[in-house]
Amino acid sequence: MLVVDLLLALAALATAGQCLLLPGLFRAIANLMAFGLVMALIWVRLDAPDVALAEAAIGAGITGALLLTVAGQLPASQHSLQSIGSGLSRRTLAISVLVLFITGLLWIAVVSLPKPGLVNEVTAVLADSGAEHAVTAILLNLRGMDTLLEVAVMLCAVAAIWSLQKAIPPPPLNNHYPGLPTLARWLHPLFLLTFSYFLWQGAHAPGGAFPAGAVLGAGGVLLLLTGSIAWMHQHAYNLLLRWLLAAGLLFFLATALSGFLITGTLYGLPPRFASYFIIAIEVATALSIALMLMTFYLFGRPGTRQ
């Protein structure tokens, strides 16, 4: 399997290089989507199927579709922009050397990490964490603040996109792609089933809110492209949409503060209630993540009267 690993590494370098060096926006976006698919295969080889599916859904699917949508709204004169490969400069060479230097430092740091790390310490407290798998326990206990901030960063990204312009209704695609609504109806039950499976899997195996939210968000983007979710553009649902977007972050904060009031420690919930709170956090966070990914495709701030 060493040959497969080497081919995947070369494919990642090739697609990343073509994304930077080939002229034209469409070529850059296409190679970026291909790079996301290659990275998904690399995560599969690393025995992380949940991360692989999230990478395929977000890195290749949602991000690629978002960039293609943005490129479609640009003037035709900007589609043939030359990339940095058209004229390598000293600045490009200096940046490349700096990136290689930082990569070397990171590699040395990874190699020098103690083995087997904190496996014994995590295993000792796993029974009191409220989760059956070490990854879920680490993300929602030892690294709960990191997970909370990741959700907050996504919510800030939604607010930044909304601040750019008012809502623009999506273009009618049914006349140009008559098979797209049928494809969405056939695939959406599969998206819901995969979403439920990842939430359930997160209790005893790698998975959880972020892969589940990525899959459900990809299905929601497909419905948005077909015009099947019109309520998100309506002014009457403006306040409801904002509360749903912030629900995951607010519930996460409420759980952290509840633990502080009960035990005097942030996130310090009693062990007998920890599993229920973790399930509730996973569901609320996954739904908020899915909705955040969908709102990236609303072409600006929704619920605004034109």
pLDDT(172) > 70: no
C-beta of residue 39 within 8 angstroms of C-beta of residue 20: no
pLDDT at residue number 300: 60
Residue count of the chain = 306
| The pLDDT of residue 93 is above 50 | yes
- Between residues 248 and 172, which one has the greater pLDDT? 248
pLDDT at 94 (0 to 100):
79
Helix and strand tally (H, E) in the chain? 12, 0
Q: Is the pTM of this model over 0.85?
A: no
Burial class (CB in 10 A: 0-12, 13-18, 19+), 286: buried
Determine which of 17-26, 85-94, 175-184 has the lowest per-residue pLDDT on average.
Answer: 85-94
Per-residue pLDDT, 105? 92
Cis peptide before 23 (omega within 30 of 0): no
What is the tens place of the pLDDT at every residue in 239-278? Answer: 888 888 888 888 888 888 887 787 777 777 777 777 777 7
* H or E element that contains 291: helix 271-295
Buried-exposed string 133-160: b where 16+ CB fall within 10 A, e elsewhere: bbbbbbbbbbebeebbebbeebbeebee
Rounded to whole angstroms, the Cα distance separating 96 from 201 reads 40
The region of weakest confidence among 75-84, 93-102, 255-264 is 75-84
Instruction: Enter the DSSP assignment of 174.
Output: T
Domains by residue range for the chain, with CATH? 1-117 (1.20.120.1200), 132-306 (no CATH)
Q: What is the pLDDT of residues 14-72, one digit of tens each?
A: 888 888 777 778 888 888 889 989 998 998 888 777 778 778 877 777 788 778 777 77
Q: Which residue has the higher pLDDT, 296 or 40?
A: 40
Indicate the burial class of 229 (C-beta count within 10 angstroms; 0-12, 13-18, 19 or more).
middle
pLDDT digits (tens, 9 = 90+) for 187-203: 888 888 888 887 777 66
Cβ atoms 23, 86 nearer than 8 A? yes
> Nearest Cα to 293, choosing from 232, 203, 206, 205?
232
pLDDT in tens, 102-146: 989 988 988 887 776 667 777 777 776 666 667 767 766 666 777
Q: Please report, as a single letter, which amino acid is at residue 108.
A: I
